[in-house]
A and B are shown apart, each in its own frame.
Chain A
Amino acid sequence: MATALFRFDDSYAREVPGLSVPWAAAPVPAPELLVLNEELAVELGADPAALREPPGVALLVGQVPAGVTTVAQAYAGHQFGVYVPRLGDGRALLLGEVTDIHGHRRDLHLKGSGRTPFARGGDGKAAVGPMLREYLIGEAMQGLGIPTTRALAVVATGERVLREGAPPGAVLTRVAASHLRVGTFQYAAASGDARPAGRAGRPRHRRHYPEAAGAPNRYLDLCGAWPGAGVAGGPVDAGRVRARGHEHRQHHDLGRDDRLRPHARSWTPMTRHGVQLH
């Protein structure tokens, strides 16, 4: 039974309902587990063997037990320098929250689980290749000691997706300490309530750090770690940088520059929205 695999909580859906939309994953015609991160499964308190069984694989593509609410998360953010008030998970879902063997709460998140109300042009699906790439690169970042999301599994769907060459489709299950983004706070703040960002932050405070002022230091753990490894993290925008600054996600789309161009630009003073940096 799926309930024996993970004991899901859905505090995000319950406590800050305005920041997500309940949404179910698209049905998967012929799920086949391609790769399972057994070490991570154990860390999450799950039995890897059970995850390989049909109920486990079904869970990994979003077929959750009754009573658990999966949600698409809303967020705002800047894309290519332009502020977009409503972005959100277009092809991803928050599957649920679990407590790992160290007592830490972790999010399980799906990618390629079908269109959500936040989807724009796409079909909401993902191809096998990019999902395997995200799996591999997350593990590489982990090995280098760089805070990262990690993939738990890649499951082939048995479908072909609408991409060049009609590649086989897949769903990625990934794990992070949280999927709160800077853009989550922007979305909450723009809702116009008196202290909306505070409500968004409340679960975060409980889960992560009591001190909001600690965020810059967490960012340093992240941003300060990767240049030394000779890696650029790729798009570091409001959708991809966690609010607590502890993880960077979406490694699938990142290249590594083999040509070195250190400090291509100097620090840029910024004056926006009343916060000045010099």
Chain B
Amino acid sequence: MFSSIDHRGRYAYGNQPAIMQWNLARLAETLLPLIDENSEAAAGAATEVLNGFVGAYERHWDEGMAAKLGLAVPDRELVKDLLELMRAQKVDFTRFFRALSAGTARAMFTQPGPFDAWAARRAAALPADRATVAAAMDRVNPVYVRATHRVEEALAQAALVRWGRSTVSSRWFSRPFDERPGLEGLRRPPPAGGAPYVTYCGT
């Protein structure tokens, strides 16, 4: 969850496209008198545009995930099965895609069997030039993301040194697709058993 008072999951990852479409519908409502003098015609025209959102979003999702996996052609089933597998075995999202291009992803699975089966399906769909595939994957899969625990560590550290100008460095995050020496700590997963992260709007 992304706001600790969001018990119904309104802001959860899987709900974001739907809530986006909902926002678009609210925007469209305010524009109806500008779209057509006839309110029914206006609502019809707006609805047509809004209904296109789901398909367009899915195309973006399919193409985005195909790029992350190095596939030339989107494969929704392959993506769906991978995400289920990662969820079941608690595999870190960011690190997985870099490991996949490096050929070390198998070690991230406690039970590699299902991953092997999935990897064979992917391999069959991959373009022949694997080096080019790996390089292209690394251009779209970040090494570093704004992992919450790392940001909090940075802020705690900054508070200790009088909000030290030098320690809060956006350089950590400015080139997330390039691996750089000295930033290994940013790749660390969150500590196991750490306190749940609590965050609210407007804190």
Residues in A lying within 8 Å of B, measured CB to CB: 34-35, 37, 78, 80-81, 122, 128-130, 132-133, 135-137, 139-144, 156, 168, 182, 185-186, 188-189, 194-195, 197-198, 201, 212-213, 215-217, 219-220, 222-238, 241, 243, 245, 250, 252-265, 267-268, 270, 272-278
Most buried by B among A197, A201, A256: A256
B1-A257 in contact (CB<8A):
yes
Cβ contact of B61, chosen from A80, A188, A222, A227, cutoff 8 A: A227
Cβ contact of B147, chosen from A143, A198, A256, A264, cutoff 8 A: A256
Determine the chain A residues whose CB is within 8 A of the CB of B19 once the complex forms.
Answer: 236-237
Determine the chain B residues whose CB is within 8 A of the CB of A220 once the complex forms.
Answer: 53, 56-57, 60
Say whether chain B's binding surface is mostly helix, strand, loop, or mixed. helix
Minimal beta-carbon separation of B198 from chain A (angstroms): 9
Determine the chain A residues whose CB is within 8 A of the CB of B16 once the complex forms.
Answer: 223, 226-227, 232-233, 236
Minimal beta-carbon separation of B80 from chain A (angstroms): 8
Chain B 48-64 interface 0/1 with A at a Cβ cutoff of 8 Å (1 = within)? 01111110110011001
Say whether chain A's binding surface is mostly helix, strand, loop, or mixed. mixed
B53-A270 in contact (CB<8A):
no
Known: A140-B144, A254-B2; 6 extra A-B contacts, CB below 8 A, are A188-B30, A201-B34, A219-B23, A255-B1, A273-B29, A277-B25
Complex Cα–Cα for A255 and B60 (A): 23
A258-B14 in contact (CB<8A):
no
B110 in the interface, Cβ–Cβ < 8 Å? no
Determine the chain A residues whose CB is within 8 A of the CB of B112 once the complex forms.
Answer: none
A264-B13 in contact (CB<8A):
yes
